[in-house]
Amino acid sequence: MKNLFKLFSIIILIITSNSNSFAAEKVEYLKTDWSFKGLFGKFDRASLQRGYQVYTEVCASCHSMKYLSYRNLAEPGGPEFSEAQAKAIAASFEVTDGPNSDGEMFTRPGKLSDKFVMPYDNVKAAQAANGGAYPPDMSVLVKARGGGVDYIYSLLQGYEEAPNNVSLDDGVYYNKYMYGNKIRMAAPLSDGLVEYGDGTNATVEQMSKDVTTFLMWSAEPHLESRHQMGFKAIVYLIILTVLVYFSMKRIWSRVESEV
């Protein structure tokens, strides 16, 4: 039995290390303590709300978030704005609707059920406005990058003067965490860029952490219920396993053989 466990864990270790081993060009990402990691990990509500502020004031001018709706902002497990706040946020955006009975498209203030308004009409428009580079949709961005939250967090703080041996074209910037070190996005954050309502000091580090937390939530909106359910499920399974183990011992004691 013990050996079975060992083999099992070795196999799992090999599998998991395999899937992580692509980062041959390894760089150490910056670390911070994420509240949503671990068995009971939960989002830091205030950080999510600040993160939304950073997203909407800074990132959203180029990056869409097409899978999110304004209602999500008020849902449990997220930033948990009050419904009134979420409605006010939605109403602050102009949404194109229609066609109306005259066959005309029209604009109206956003509603909770609307998806986040996109900064550009289409990919081509986004590329045209950004020197040919398409700012990726941010809905599942942290899951779509190898290092996940640590990578995004580091990237936001990874802008540096390019070393002498690296030449950069116009509109290309040096970032020590970017794959190949060249990035088409200028450093998006600078100290004091946003003014937090709760008085938190808006350093680059703080904003990076807040907006990355927000992006983790946008990619995994059910993370909190997943962790809660997971804990219950595993505790339940362990108790049941123990009970079944003793029943098994009891039943097998009838024959002269070991289990």
Partner 1 sequence: MSNHDYRPKSKVGQWFNDRLPLLTLANHLTDYPTPKNLNYWWTFGGILTFCLITQIVTGLTLAMHYIAHADMAFESVEHIMRDVNYGWLIRYIHANGASMFFLAVYIHIFRSLFYGSYKAPREIIWIIGIIIYLLMMAAAFMGYVLPWGQMSFWGATVITNLFSAIPLVGEGIVTWLWGGYSVDNPTLTRFFTLHYLIPFLILGLVVLHIWALHVPGNNNPVGIDIKKPSKDTVPFHPYIVIKDGFALLMFMIVFAFFVFYAPNILGHADNYIEANPMVTPAHIVPEWYLLPFYAILRSVPDKLLGVVAMLSAILILAVLPWLDTSKIRSAVFRPLYKQFYWILVADVLILGYVGAMPAEGLYLLIARVATAYYFLHFLVILPVLGFKEKTLPVPLSITEPVLGGSPNLAAARNKESKIE
Query: Pick from 53, 139, 157, 212: which binds partner 1 (CB under 8 A)?
Result: 139
Amino acid present at 14 = I
Contact 169, 129 (CB under 8 A): no
Helix (H, G, I), strand (E, B) or coil at 173: strand
CA 190 → CA 113, 129, 182, 184, distances in Å?
Answer: 33, 22, 19, 17
Give the dihedral of Cα atoms 45, 46, 52, 54; nearest 10 deg.
-150
Nearest distance from residue 245's CB to partner 1, in Å? 6
Nearest distance from residue 192's CB to partner 1, in Å? 33
**227 binding partner 1? (CB under 8 A):** yes
**40 binding partner 1? (CB under 8 A):** no
107 - beta bridge partners? Answer: 96
**88 binding partner 1? (CB under 8 A):** no
Look-up of token digits 């950080």:
47
Give the binding range for partner 1 (CB under 8 A) out of 54-62, 155-163, 181-189, 216-224: 216-224
Give, as ranges, the residues between 168 and 197 that touch partner 1 (CB under 8 A): 179
Helix (H, G, I), strand (E, B) or coil at 252: helix
Residue 211 CB neighbours (<10 A): 27
**105 binding partner 1? (CB under 8 A):** no
Task: Show the site string, 7-36: x = touches partner 1 by CB under 8 A, - = not.
Answer: -x--xx-xxx-xxxxx-x------------
Give the binding range for partner 1 (CB under 8 A) out of 80-88, 105-113, 193-201, 215-223: 215-223
Cis peptide before 99 (omega within 30 of 0): yes
Rounded distance, CA 111 to CA 96, Å?
Answer: 11
Of 21 and 167, the one with the shorter C-beta distance to partner 1 is 21
Query: Pick from 72, 114, 124, 197: which binds partner 1 (CB under 8 A)?
Result: 72
Amino acid present at 5 = F
**125 binding partner 1? (CB under 8 A):** no
Strands (E), the chain: 94-97, 106-109, 173-174, 182-183
CA 254 → CA 132, 183, 226, 243, distances in Å?
Answer: 75, 70, 42, 18
Of 100 and 241, the one with the shorter C-beta distance to partner 1 is 241
Rounded to 5, what percent of the chain is helix, strand, coil? 45, 5, 50
**253 binding partner 1? (CB under 8 A):** no
With a CB cutoff of 8 Å and minimum separation 6, the contacts of 83 are 74, 112
Of 117 and 204, the one with the shorter C-beta distance to partner 1 is 117
**84 binding partner 1? (CB under 8 A):** no
Nearest distance from residue 242's CB to partner 1, in Å? 9
Contacting positions for partner 1 (CB under 8 A) = 1, 3-4, 8, 11-12, 14-16, 18-22, 24, 39, 67, 72, 136, 139-140, 143-146, 148, 179, 219-222, 226-227, 229-231, 233-234, 237-238, 240-241, 244-245, 247-248, 251-252, 255-257, 259
